[in-house]
Amino acid sequence: MTFIFLYANILILKYSEVIKIEVFDIDISKFTEEAELLKTLGHPTRLCIVYCLIKKGGGCNVSTMYTCLKLPQPTISQHLNKLKQLKIVKTERIGTEIFYSVENPVVIKLVKSLFQNEEE
């Protein structure tokens, strides 16, 4: 069996000279949320923020991120807002400061697997 190509949800396989077409019963709209999550994490700054929050293991405020990441505070805030919208990070207000941490267990697992060689 030789794989020819996959188009939408149709897989075309070639058996010698006979072509067999299989149709997968997959609803592509089910992948929208995961695709949005991956697209959000696909930005290097957001991935770096999430990685640093996971590595720190606890809450972190924007001032600390600013010092560590060497990025302008408004840039960090904009990226944190996007991460918060998708429920990747959560916030906790302590006094006048807001602390961020990663709340999505799927994201934690994904980012840890991406950087597992750095952990060793």
- Note the pTM of the prediction, 2 decimals: 0.72
Whether residue 78 contacts residue 12, with contact meaning beta carbons closer than 8 Å, is answered with no
The answer as to whether 105 is a domain residue is: yes
For the segment 29-53, what is each residue's pLDDT rounded down to a tens digit?
A: 878 888 999 999 999 999 999 999 9
pLDDT in tens, 37-96: 999 999 999 999 999 999 888 788 888 888 878 888 899 999 999 999 999 999 999 899
Domain count, the chain: 1
Domain enclosing residue 101, as ranges: 42-119
Residue 43 phi/psi, 5-degree rounding, is: -80, 125
d(CA 9, CA 18): 20
CATH number at residue 85: 1.10.10.10
